[in-house]
Structure 1
């Protein structure tokens, strides 16, 4: 196009931004971004204080820019684009909401959904609701999820398959398998392969392996072929429920009946299934015969089960491979240190800690949430920022004391 002397218009640029986001190619996105100013794409270039502000004059380009930066893990820049846009439609708001969800900021996504309606008076559409439901799942916010569900019913969107799929996933992650099942069993929409896979994964998440297997075979009877997501879901369910024979049977049928080639994710499920059941040698043999190189998820599955079953031979082997594959992952070193500390191998613990220090590795503290009376409270390790932190730690001390003393009959709430 450039060789022929044809200049791109705003729609061409928007498409390129979208592709840059999908490919997570931020460098190319910025290159094209700069190209626009060099060819005089906007007439008042001198007045514009940044490239983003310039392109944000075009709503569809602004949403594409937000999507590109958020997909490239540059959500702060994406928000800057969002804030500089004067005329924001539902697609722009949805792009920013989706960006927050993709980058692990579910609270910001829910706040933005409320602002979207209260500030600009814009009603969310189907895509907005589908984008925000994972935020409810991440926060285990059942009340918020129900509100989104109720809003979709008012908008007569509850028959949309993509929305119903998102509802199944949200309800299962919020701990309500019953609501997930209701969303699945409603007869107001056509179930696609994602619908079946979502319900299979929901059963697996709640330890209902038999129901997951039954749903898997029902899916096949309805003429749907399994894909990688379906297979990982049903094999994970079999693993958590100890259904080894059923899981192995499903795995073998992939190549013979559906011509599905094993992936690292699928193989990790098989290793997890075998090793959880105590068949560590069989799991190790499976790893050796894998048609592709075992990744961290494979060795991680073997490691977890080896620790659980007290097999130091396979445990040390798994650790060795994990450190080779992920030398910069602090979680591996922390796990290794804790394992040897429980064995009182203090010399090894010191060695591991020294390795971490030399490599400059430090584990980012984890964070958890709980929703009480509609308000979400977040906590990280050793966090004392909560206004009721003193009471929380007092309660934790009481619980630890009760568990240590074995006095489970004491009423700690009195």
Structure 2
């Protein structure tokens, strides 16, 4: 062997930074006839396998699988590399391959294979590895036993085995105590977790945080708060656990108070609060907090951006949503399925379908059923119903299988366009072609479709023939159609069903009053309004939002809390007067005064 060439290759491997350079080193090895040197090949594989770049790891595979009789070091290297590159299933395959070649695993092999079993929740494989650990004499190795304990703690129905491993460990360190505590918390056994926590000779940040988080996640917020207060030291994870617990329990006020008291907030803290506000419909607060997060220069994660985009979609905050899209592009954030779908949904709900289409097209072939569905629903919602149906056809052609939500979008598109025949076809196609069972929402879409088309009697029969019990929303959809179509007889029949289901719903009385008014039955209108008054039912005021200069303004009917309410009402009066003038004009389309 040319020792000089070998030394040169080893030095080159230490400086390699790309796949091209790695291939050049291998070419040099072949050229100088040292490519059969197992030590050099092992170093080549080690560098490639332990790279976190998928292309370089793929190259290590090519080299490894061409080696005849690879040794245990090479197998350990590839197993470890499989975990680094998020392919735990290959680590398990390599383990069984080395066993098939009569190689005995060692204390480096077992921890990585057990981590792969943990990632894949492969309990059966983990048990086989456990048996091999005992047979090969590693049953007392602390590091091997700790990873074995972790594996059992994570997999379902295996805490008895985890406890046995823990109890038989000759030396128990902080990590092992943390593992058994976390395992019991994961399985919802707070009693056992508390017992082990109380008996732990040394309580670390991890165990304290696990207990606080465990109690909080299971809704035991008072116990979580007590442990939090008892903690000798608290880090960001401690505060975040309790904040998340309050949010999960629906106590957003306490979560907000705790967040404000935090000495040092990290991105998890900000994201938890932003998502918490979103969860309970406080969309304005989500956006306000996001802007504060930007001011203190905390870089948002993908989860943060998803929450803020959802808030923008619900508020119609197009300017803010567009700014976030620009931020994503400027900072090189990959637009994966989740972010892409959130952007499509945001633009669609804000009425900018052209931008939604741009995002959709630029996603290429990464789109899944959720992305397609967001696009179909967005088009239908914005009146581009024919396009929505065309997108559905394209989706099927590309081999993406629609789900129940997709069909809701398709049926809505048919309803808004009056396509009764097509809507019926799609409704029947759900069960016939895709084995999907229609839910009550799909039946509601069909009732809406028939009602909009004026087929009220057919819609009524459709409701009566439903295999599931119709709710007040189904009957309410037909009721609204009665007002549009001025069908008093059907409306009165529907009202009887609605009175049984939801007798205090003021909207039903208002709709019935409107049906009578449309047909000139003013005595009946007066009678319905008297019933409303006698019952003490008042109409809920309407509400709307508009975004101006990145600020969302909310308006409620008859409310005067807005700082510029006087000007707003003056403008409304002016517009009303002008509309009255236009209404009295002939079709000459004279300009407004």
TM-score, L = length of structure 2: 0.60
Which one has a larger percent helix, Structure 1 or Structure 2?
2
Contact 1:133–1:170 (8 Å) recurs in 2: yes
Q: 1:33 aligns with which of 221, 226, 230?
A: 221
The Cα of 1:36 is off from its aligned counterpart by 4.3
C-alpha change, 1:407 and 1:37, in structure 2 (3 Å) is closer
Matched, 1:123 2:299: yes
* Residue correspondence of structure 1 range 100-249 to structure 2 within 5 A: 100-119=277-296, 121-187=297-363, 190-249=366-425
C-alpha change, 1:13 and 1:381, in structure 2 (3 Å) is same
Contact 1:180–1:199 (8 Å) recurs in 2: yes
Higher relative contact order (CA 8 A, sep 6+): 1
- In structure 2, C-alpha distance between the alignment counterparts of 1:159 and 1:402, rounded to whole Å: 47
The Cα of 1:88 is off from its aligned counterpart by 2.2
C-alpha change, 1:104 and 1:365, in structure 2 (3 Å) is farther
Q: 2:457 aligns with which of 246, 260, 281?
A: 281
Aligned residue for 2:230, secondary structure, equals: coil
Matched, 1:351 2:531: yes
The Cα of 1:309 is off from its aligned counterpart by 0.3
- In structure 2, C-alpha distance between the alignment counterparts of 1:201 and 1:60, rounded to whole Å: 36
User: Any idea what the Cα deviations from partners look like across 1:253-312, whole Å, max 9, x if unmatched?
Assistant: 111111111111111001101111011111111101111011122112111111100011
Instruction: In structure 2, list runs of 5 or more residues that go unmatched.
Output: 1-188, 198-206
Aligned residue for 1:332, secondary structure, equals: helix
Partner of 1:89 in structure 2?
266
The Cα of 1:209 is off from its aligned counterpart by 1.5
- In structure 2, C-alpha distance between the alignment counterparts of 1:280 and 1:354, rounded to whole Å: 31
Matched, 1:257 2:456: no
Aligned residues: 386
C-alpha change, 1:87 and 1:307, in structure 2 (3 Å) is same
Q: Structure 1 stretch 388-397 or stretch 212-221: which is displaced more? A: 388-397
User: Any idea what the Cα deviations from partners look like across 1:359-404, whole Å, max 9, x if unmatched?
Assistant: xx54442321222344332211112233433332233223223333
- In structure 2, C-alpha distance between the alignment counterparts of 1:232 and 1:103, rounded to whole Å: 25
Aligned residue for 2:552, secondary structure, equals: strand
- In structure 1, C-alpha distance between the alignment counterparts of 2:283 and 2:225, rounded to whole Å: 35
Aligned residue for 1:6, secondary structure, equals: helix
Instruction: In structure 1, list runs of 5 or more residues that go unmatched.
Output: 21-28, 49-53
- In structure 1, C-alpha distance between the alignment counterparts of 2:191 and 2:262, rounded to whole Å: 33
Matched, 1:78 2:255: yes
Matched, 1:14 2:221: no
- Structure number with larger C-alpha Rg: 2
Partner of 1:319 in structure 2?
495
Contact 1:341–1:349 (8 Å) recurs in 2: no
Contact 1:66–1:95 (8 Å) recurs in 2: no
Contact 1:200–1:213 (8 Å) recurs in 2: yes
Contact 1:138–1:173 (8 Å) recurs in 2: yes
Partner of 1:51 in structure 2?
none
- In structure 2, C-alpha distance between the alignment counterparts of 1:141 and 1:35, rounded to whole Å: 40
